[in-house]
Amino acid sequence: MNLPRTVVKGKVVDSTPRILPGVPAEYDAIIVGGGHNGLATAAYLGRAGLKTLVLERRDVLGGAAVSEHPWPGYIVSTLSYVLSLMPPEVIRELELHRHGLTLYPLAADYYVPFPDGSHLLLTKDAAQAKAEISKFSRKDAAAWPAFSAYLAKIARLVRPLLLMTPPAVGAKSPADLLELARFAWKLKGLDVQGTGDFVKVMTLSVAELLDEWFESPQVKAARSVSGAIGTYGGPYTPGTAYVLLHHYIGEIDGQMAEWAFVRGGTGAVSQAIADDAREHGADIRTGTRVGKRTSCRRTS
């Protein structure tokens, strides 16, 4: 079951599955899984001059960011369906627009119909949102702009932290101390009220947060969706207020709190990343199952 003398980072690996015939002897990195994260890793490593091999078990790349053809003539985003939280730095640095990435910002945040025949349509237009919410509560309509500004303020604080390596609290090496200093600098503008708001949004459930701001069950139901979506929990699960915050952190073409559909489905995101990775030397293989991973020990 083994192919002898496969070399990774200059070290001989004892064995590798025979399921990978013809693998060249030298790779700087082997990435298991051709989802968008693995592909982005390969693209960045390639841009740094390293030779990478990406192995994907399925016949299609993308992982959860994938477009498939369940019916002839139709393309469907079968898992992830909109784009927002991909850092614009990644889009820019990997030149994804040059590789064909085309985005169409959503015209509306949510359309929520209710059993009595009423509905709530929320857009970025402040006057339209106020008029819609007023159908259920004038008090909530008046609170909506302040609520949006409240979350936008916290989003501007959290957004830069997403690109930081989490600091090793208690570590004393110069590198770790530098990361701690960078983290502290990001938080330098927080006063006591801001600190309380930050902690609240990071820990409360989305239902508890909305209860502090709104009275209408329809308004709270519509926004609770943004907190519970994509989680193994419900609106009263602690931490889901932070999931709601994601909808204010996301960014499209320099505009925060924006989401977009992708031309060709979200698989087009993965394809654009894969194109950049291949352009910089990555070897990407689909339909390739990894049977065994063997670690090699460094020797002095």
Which of 108-122, 129-143, 247-261 is modeled with the greatest confidence?
Answer: 129-143
Q: How confident is the model at residue 19 (pLDDT cuts 50, 70, 90)?
A: very low
CB 82 within 8 A of CB 269: no
CATH 3.50.50.60 domain span(s) along the chain: 6-81+270-285
Over residues 188-215, the pLDDT tens digits come to 666 777 778 888 898 999 999 999 999 9
Q: CATH fold of 6-81+270-285, please?
A: FAD/NAD(P)-binding domain (3.50.50)
Chain-wide mean pLDDT for the chain?
85
pTM, rounded to two decimals: 0.80
Q: How confident is the model at residue 244 (pLDDT cuts 50, 70, 90)?
A: very high
pLDDT at position 25 is 58
* Sign of the torsion formed by the C-alpha atoms of 47, 51, 57 and 58: positive
Distance CA 188, CA 219 (A): 34
Query: Which residue reads 């790779």 in tokens?
Result: 27
Residues 6+ apart with CB under 8 A from 247: 84, 109, 226, 257, 259
- % of the chain with per-residue pLDDT over 70: 84
pLDDT at position 18 is 42
